[in-house]
Structure 1
Amino acid sequence: MLYRNDKYGNPISILGYGCMRFTTKGGSIDIDKAEKEIMAAYEAGVNYYDTAYVYPGSEATLGVILERNNIREKINIATKLPQYLVKNRESLDKYFDEELKRLKTDYIDYYLMHHMTAINQWDKLEQLGIRDWIKEKKESGQIRNIGFSYHGNTEDFIGILDSYDWDFCQIQYNYVDEHTQAGLKGLRHAAEKGIPVVIMEPLRGGKLVNLLPEKAKKEIAESPKGYTNAELGLRWLWNQPEVTCVLSGMNSPEMVAENCRIASDAEAGSFDEADFALIEKVKEAIRETERVGCTGCRYCMPCPKGVDIPALFRSYNMTSLEGKSHARFEYAQTVGLKSEPAFATQCIECGKCEQHCPQNIPIRRMLKEADRVVRPWPYKIGINIVRKFFLKK
């Protein structure tokens, strides 16, 4: 197992165990199976285990396994405050104390503000006294490192990152999401500030393994390196020195073994020209299945009315790879929860975007088509309701 250091020089395994996808049996987590998989990862050198308050049964399962095997002091627990449920200063302690009880511990190594999507959410927490609360918890030793997990646009990510002296952060990032959400720009901004970055959804929940177009699978299978679909995605991430730890929701012994094998020699800077060429071939195969030929170059931006054109087209394209439900959910959280509205219905058809598009996309027409698919009327209603809940002052 290879390791990279956190902000204070502590070694973190480059492979982290994502505890959201434990196997269930009879409606609850199969704890014996989860224990075998966690212990296999531990024996292979994994020392970072990520869970959250809202992952059903996950914190309690992890707590039992760590206690049974007496390894709490030998690993790092990362869990998360459900900031979207916090209403007052008292609830901060309520959720935190409940998490300590579930995890059978008296401290958290890496604690995150969960699922931040807009800077307004951090503003709200500040109004509730989050800075003093964090200071108290860190001084008492109950929290060792403080961070946040993020699903939103690059601008708000950088805004949150610059608003506090964070110890680490967690973002969704993979070769398909290279320029969406926090993206490469956000990753590099964090690195420039000396803030370690933990990666979630490195394979988009397995979709970059099982749901790749057949042409993409063929390109990988015929590569002389002998990579598996998962291996290519993981090595692409670990090739980047700005990446500290990559989470994987491992729920089979085979997956644990494969990922730990890859993490034993995936050094930063180890990709060669053939590897980068293979990534481009896979991305091109994915693009061939897309509904609109947007490359995410952002030459169309900024829109004078605030429409996030690339984000809408990206979600629209994801409907062909991952299905409409997933694409709609992602659009709802990354665009629907922006501080300022950025929907296609704000378009006044001025045409400035089309004048700058290198792909000559009929953007005005495609915006309407994409919006109908990605944001049908039930989602419009739902997004409006959630905006009032998440973004209220």
Structure 2
Amino acid sequence: MQYRTVPKNGDRLSALGFGAMRLPTRMGRIDEARAIKQIRSAIESGVNYLDTAYPYHGGESERVLGKALEDGYRERVKIADKLSPWLVDSREEMERILEIQLNRLRTDHIDYYLLHMLDARSWKKLVDLDVFAFLEAARDAGTITNIGFSFHGDRKTFREIIDAYDWTFCQIQYNFLDEEVQAGREGLAYAASKQIAVMVMEPLRGGMLAGDLPDEAQAAYDRSGLSRTPAEWALRWIWDHPDVTTVLSGMNDERHIRENLLTCEDALPGSMTDAERAVVDEVKAVYKRLIRVDCTGCAYCMPCPFGVNIPQCFHFYNQYHMTGNRLMTRGFYIGQVIGFDDNPANASRCRSCGKCLGACPQGIDIPRELKKVGRDLDGLATKLMTPLVKMVMTKRQRE
């Protein structure tokens, strides 16, 4: 196993982390026996960073992970868990959530604790709730060790958050299609310049970069003469970055776990050749031709007077038309853009005021494109799906 060092605490973390958001299921529930076997097998192969969150699998992810870490496995790993902003409105609720998480995980402390899915709106909410007082009190009490955040906003907000606190680590979405999306390459470099460890999520863009490739993309890989799966190409591209600490993979198939472990062994920083990077660039170009709106996520168009999260709307609209899993994309759009409070940020809130038009460096006709987003992602299917997504994301169990 390859290990990389967290600058601020010296921890040696496996370059491959186990993401517990997509554990194997059976008849709609986690297949516990299989999931536990997979987690323990990964640990025995050297994986020592395991990532979960309160809402994953309706709360079951933490519980199953806790069972998997019995029998001496807990002492071999670092657990990452998250405080979800949409679940809390007070210090007392933060404390209650943390207590539940510790009970589910069957542990007395969480090694890496993140503020979950931050963007400009959720960041402001947590700051207003004085979340740092809660975090530092928990750290002083020994129930959490390292403080970080995961991010799904624009680069301007990312820099603001990075500069606001002495973070140990952060978690960003990053892959060869998302160099200019959300935090992007610029955010990766900025975090690293502050000695903040960077954990990467969605390295395969929810599986889009690993299967059902456009024919032209597969042809580019085939012409390379290298016997690699698309997943291996995508993961090697990320591990080539020296500023990346750990890459999280939502592994739920034994074959994929073995493949990722094998890839990780020699996918060292700077190990890709110029010819290999050129292959990835060619594949990236194929995907880029399929993108509907060429938004870079710079957020110069923000804030919208009517509350639309313009970069996020375009991000999910592009995903909707590039991936075969439209149902999952719609679910993320509901959770991250529409939300579950009184401040939705979806495309249909646009009133074509035109304020954003002069601000976009890409020259995108934003109101026109938002109408297309609204047509595809704010319709009846989304309205019918929203209560289900809300139920899954906000489920609270009696412990």
The bucket for the TM-score relative to the shorter chain is 0.7 to 0.9
Contact 2:313 2:346 in 1 (8 A): no
1:106-185 equivalences under 5 Å are: 106-118=108-120, 120-185=121-186
For residues 23 and 268 of structure 2, the distance between their equivalents in structure 1, rounded to whole angstroms, comes to 28
How far 1:259 moved relative to its partner?
Answer: 0.4
For residues 242 and 12 of structure 2, the distance between their equivalents in structure 1, rounded to whole angstroms, comes to 14
Equivalent position of 2:196 in the other structure: 195
Equivalent position of 1:59 in the other structure: 62
Contact 1:354 1:362 in 2 (8 A): no
For residues 231 and 34 of structure 1, the distance between their equivalents in structure 2, rounded to whole angstroms, comes to 22
How far 1:347 moved relative to its partner?
Answer: 3.8
1:219-258 equivalences under 5 Å are: 219-258=220-259
- CA distance 1:189–1:347, change in 2 (3 Å): farther
- CA distance 1:67–1:123, change in 2 (3 Å): same
How far 1:209 moved relative to its partner?
Answer: 0.9
Equivalent position of 2:3 in the other structure: 3
Contact 2:357 2:365 in 1 (8 A): no
Select which of 98, 101, 115 maps to 1:99: 101
For residues 328 and 214 of structure 1, the distance between their equivalents in structure 2, rounded to whole angstroms, comes to 25
For residues 92 and 354 of structure 2, the distance between their equivalents in structure 1, rounded to whole angstroms, comes to 48
Is 1:78 aligned to 2:80, yes or no?
Answer: yes
For residues 260 and 186 of structure 1, the distance between their equivalents in structure 2, rounded to whole angstroms, comes to 27
For residues 312 and 93 of structure 1, the distance between their equivalents in structure 2, rounded to whole angstroms, comes to 33
For residues 171 and 362 of structure 2, the distance between their equivalents in structure 1, rounded to whole angstroms, comes to 32
SS, match of residue 52 in structure 1: coil
Equivalent position of 2:397 in the other structure: none
For residues 361 and 130 of structure 2, the distance between their equivalents in structure 1, rounded to whole angstroms, comes to 45
Provide structure 2 residue ranges, at least 5 long, that are not aligned to the other structure: 391-399
Is 1:46 aligned to 2:47, yes or no?
Answer: yes
How far 1:380 moved relative to its partner?
Answer: 9.2
How far 1:328 moved relative to its partner?
Answer: 4.7
How far 1:269 moved relative to its partner?
Answer: 1.1
Amino acid at match of 2:2: L
Equivalent position of 2:25 in the other structure: 24
SS, match of residue 20 in structure 1: coil
Select which of 86, 89, 100 maps to 1:87: 89
For residues 37 and 47 of structure 2, the distance between their equivalents in structure 1, rounded to whole angstroms, comes to 14
- CA distance 1:158–1:32, change in 2 (3 Å): same
Contact 1:151 1:333 in 2 (8 A): no
Matched residue count? 378
SS, match of residue 210 in structure 1: coil
For residues 186 and 227 of structure 1, the distance between their equivalents in structure 2, rounded to whole angstroms, comes to 29
SS, match of residue 247 in structure 1: strand
Equivalent position of 1:390 in the other structure: none
Contact 2:2 2:15 in 1 (8 A): yes
Amino acid at match of 1:67: E
Contact 1:117 1:333 in 2 (8 A): no
Contact 1:173 1:200 in 2 (8 A): yes
For residues 109 and 82 of structure 1, the distance between their equivalents in structure 2, rounded to whole angstroms, comes to 17
User: Structure 1 length as normaliser, TM-score?
Assistant: 0.85
For residues 368 and 78 of structure 1, the distance between their equivalents in structure 2, rounded to whole angstroms, comes to 39
Contact 1:305 1:347 in 2 (8 A): no
Equivalent position of 1:269 in the other structure: 270
- CA distance 1:60–1:303, change in 2 (3 Å): closer
Is 1:296 aligned to 2:296, yes or no?
Answer: yes
Amino acid at match of 1:2: Q
% identity of equivalent residues: 40
For residues 183 and 82 of structure 2, the distance between their equivalents in structure 1, rounded to whole angstroms, comes to 19
Contact 2:301 2:359 in 1 (8 A): no
Tell me whether 133-142 or 258-267 shows the greater mean CA deviation. 133-142
Contact 1:153 1:334 in 2 (8 A): no
For residues 55 and 282 of structure 1, the distance between their equivalents in structure 2, rounded to whole angstroms, comes to 32
For residues 356 and 150 of structure 1, the distance between their equivalents in structure 2, rounded to whole angstroms, comes to 23
How far 1:276 moved relative to its partner?
Answer: 1.6
How far 1:16 moved relative to its partner?
Answer: 0.1
Amino acid at match of 1:124: K
Contact 1:3 1:14 in 2 (8 A): yes
Contact 2:291 2:318 in 1 (8 A): yes
How far 1:226 moved relative to its partner?
Answer: 2.0
How far 1:324 moved relative to its partner?
Answer: 4.8
How far 1:26 moved relative to its partner?
Answer: 3.6
For residues 115 and 2 of structure 1, the distance between their equivalents in structure 2, rounded to whole angstroms, comes to 27
For residues 335 and 183 of structure 2, the distance between their equivalents in structure 1, rounded to whole angstroms, comes to 13
